Amino acid sequence: MEKNYYVCTGCGLLCDDIEVESEKDKVNKVYTACRIGVAHMKETRGEAKFLVDNKPVDEATAINEAASILKNARNPLIFGLGTSTNETQKIAIELAKKINATLDDPSSFCLGPLAEALIQDKLKTCTLDDVRNKADVIIYWGTDPSDSHPRQLSKHSYFPRGSEKQRGWEEERTAIAIDVRKSHTAKICGNYFFQIPPKGDTEFIDALIAGLSGKLPKTSYNYPPKKILELANILKGAKFGVIFVGRGLIYSLENLEPLFKLMKILNEKANFHLIPMIGNYNTMGFNENLFAETGYVNSVKFENGTVKHGPEYSIVESLKAKTVDAAIIIGSDPLSILPRSIAKNMLEIPVISLDHCETLTSKHAKVYVNTAISGVESGGTAIRMDGVKVNFEPVIETNNPSDEVILKKIMEAL
């Protein structure tokens, strides 16, 4: 009997080999997925909620209230969308144009600069399939996929057998971790774990470049030169190398220049690629869709047919400066993830929350619509962390509206 496989939207890997046992409106069992994926796909609940001032209303009332908030705002903010389909994201961009909104997503304080460099072809990248089939040297830098993306090592990088790597891990692959702490991934890498101090990445990159160039590597924190030279020799011998870049590395660097320098010399000596370790399943989709429309991946302000861009249009700076007077938050929880000194300013403006689960943000929202779970209750397309487009179908049937449907209705009500 032919099996039906589904795509898991639990993280940026978008694993496409998930099996489920389900009833009409409920997922009972999930196979193949990791612990994050199982929890995500079994997250289904009853009928959608429509709340205004935390009181139940019908859908039309919630839509009209949301539209009224946006109509009365001089500078509304649209934020989130990393857990929305490409189709939803494109509607959000159109909405931002229509209401002259500021538009941003979590990549503005995360992996956005790296995503932008990859979209602009400034850095060499590859697909996860290439990694599985070809990679012989794999670096996890400032990231712990064993916790954040549990199937990354087993499905895509270190452990699986690929078309050109039939013997799998250890025999044909070398896994390296560079981090400030001995993470679960670092333990798997064994002797190839390089522990550096917080904010020590730039110096470590400079020392590694020195080692790759045949010079004596030095750091102010006296990292053993012998160990850096050992790493340099491994990297120079790579036939197909990959660096998985996490937030730990991006937060440590003032800009991407050290990474550009490292990739330049690595590709003079060997063959190396970068892949960002993106968390939300369609953050890369948002970055690509907004870039196609505006030339920027985040932090934009639409104003009468023109587009402005800069850090002042990020959610952090917009809330800090109190330049936005309303917000529609889609599939995100800024009240939980932003510093309290900044997040508290959101409590002073009317907020519309579209989310498949209740969050701190939804609890403080003027309007909350409990939307369908993308990939479980609604379908669409998304861009995997490596830039590959993925189509997915819903696992179960539901009457709950998707964020795409709700955004369309808000647009119509404006």
Cα 66 to the center of its chain, rounded Å: 27
Residue 3: predicted pLDDT:
64
Cα 285 to the center of its chain, rounded Å: 9
- Which mean pLDDT values do the consecutive 10-residue runs of the chain (414 residues) have? 81 96 87 95 83 97 98 98 98 98 97 97 97 97 97 94 79 95 97 97 98 96 96 97 98 97 98 98 98 98 96 98 98 96 97 96 97 94 98 92 97 96
What whole-number distance in Å separates Cα of residue 37 and Cα of residue 333? 19
Residue 25: predicted pLDDT:
79
Please tell me the chain's helix, strand, coil percentages from 3-state DSSP, rounded to the nearest 5: 40, 20, 40
Residue 168: predicted pLDDT:
63
Residue limits of CATH 3.40.228.10 in the chain: 112-276
Residue 113: predicted pLDDT:
96
Residue limits of CATH 3.40.50.740 in the chain: 45-110+281-413
What whole-number distance in Å separates Cα of residue 388 and Cα of residue 53? 40
What whole-number distance in Å separates Cα of residue 263 and Cα of residue 123? 8
The CATH architecture of the domain made up of 112-276 is 3-Layer(aba) Sandwich (3.40)
Q: Identify the CA nearest to 126 among candidates 257, 243, 41.
A: 243
Sign of dihedral through CA atoms 89, 95, 97, 101? negative
Residue 47: predicted pLDDT:
81
Contact 331, 403 (CB under 8 A): yes
Pairing of strands 55-56, 50-52: antiparallel
Q: Identify the CA nearest to 232 among candidates 261, 266, 198.
A: 266
What whole-number distance in Å separates Cα of residue 117 and Cα of residue 10? 25
Q: Which residue has the tokens 């250890």?
A: 170
Please give the CATH number for the structural domain made up of 45-110+281-413: 3.40.50.740
Per the structure block, which two tokens stand in for 355?
């989310």
Residue 1: predicted pLDDT:
40
